[in-house]
């Protein structure tokens, strides 16, 4: 079966368009809604970079097969459960590329080295007391979910794996319902080497250490 070629630029444009639509909609709703209390819902969109720090396949000659950092985008609804604790559902769409090493079969070809990585997680976000003049709030994220790898290589298979989601951030609270957040998330998981067309080694699970650094906007409709 012929694989569908991934076009990262087009996908990135669609992701940015979706973010803009979400923020425009929530801004309009917020402007039309006059509430005496803050809404328990918060919707955010973010853009950043997905940075893998572990090889998919470690080779004896040090020519590892690994993912190279790429752009990433995310959307997240949150709902306040108790004071300063919110439940979240997060989706990340990342576009790293793959660098083939010596343990990959020589006949492996594209159509490209692009990888589409989808991360879906859920958990809680804890916001600390107002900090630095009541306009900065540290955040702690704890959750878990899955990673889905989609390769554009001959002989490769898609891969679904569980992941944890641990993050530290800083939220700048402005006037009104809009805030800005900078966050660093750690997404540890594993990867089944047998999903790639390998040679000369026995497939095993390889531990993965991935970081997602993002800057985003949040709004309470």
Q: What is d(CA 8, CA 28) in angstroms, rounded to the nearest whole number?
A: 30
Residue 8 vs residue 76, higher pLDDT: 76
Is 142 in contact with 168 (CB distance < 8 Å)? no
Q: What is the pLDDT of residue 66?
A: 96
Per-residue pLDDT tens for 87-96? 999 999 999 9
> Which CATH code is given to the segment(s) 8-33+44-103+112-189+214-219?
2.40.160.20
If one counts every other C-beta atom within 10 angstroms of the C-beta of residue 184, the result is 16
CA distance 156 to 32: 50
Mean pLDDT in residue range 93-118: 90
Domain boundaries, the chain: 8-33+44-103+112-189+214-219
Question: What would the DSSP string read from start to end of 67-126?
Answer: EE-EEEEEEEEEEEEETTEEEEEEEEEE--EEE--TTB-TT---EEEEEEEEEEEEEEEE
For residues 27 and 186, which has the higher predicted lDDT (pLDDT)?
186
Q: What does pTM read for this prediction?
A: 0.81
Residues of the chain above pLDDT 70, percent: 80
């Amino acid at each position: 079966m012929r694989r569908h070629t991934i076009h990262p630029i087009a996908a990135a444009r669609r992701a940015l368009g979706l973010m803009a639509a979400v923020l425009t909609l929530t801004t309009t709703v917020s402007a039309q809604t006059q509430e005496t209390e803050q809404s328990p819902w918060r919707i955010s969109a973010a853009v950043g970079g997905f940075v893998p720090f572990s090889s998919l396949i470690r080779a004896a000659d040090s020519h590892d097969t690994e993912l190279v950092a790429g752009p990433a985008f995310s959307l997240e609804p949150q709902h306040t459960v108790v004071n300063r604790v919110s439940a979240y559902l997060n989706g990340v769409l990342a576009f790293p590329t793959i660098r083939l090493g010596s343990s990959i079969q020589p006949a492996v070809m594209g159509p490209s080295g692009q990888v589409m990585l989808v991360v879906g997680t859920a958990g809680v976000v804890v916001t600390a007391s107002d900090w630095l003049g009541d306009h900065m709030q540290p955040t702690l994220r704890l959750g878990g979910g899955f990673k889905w790898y989609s390769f554009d290589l001959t002989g490769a298979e898609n891969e679904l794996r569980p992941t944890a989601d641990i993050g530290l951030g800083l939220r700048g609270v402005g006037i009104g319902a809009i805030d800005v957040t900078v966050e660093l998330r750690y997404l540890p998981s594993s990867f089944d080497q047998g999903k790639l067309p390998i040679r000369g080694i026995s497939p095993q699970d390889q531990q993965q250490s991935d970081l997602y650094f993002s800057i985003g906007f949040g709004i309470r409709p």
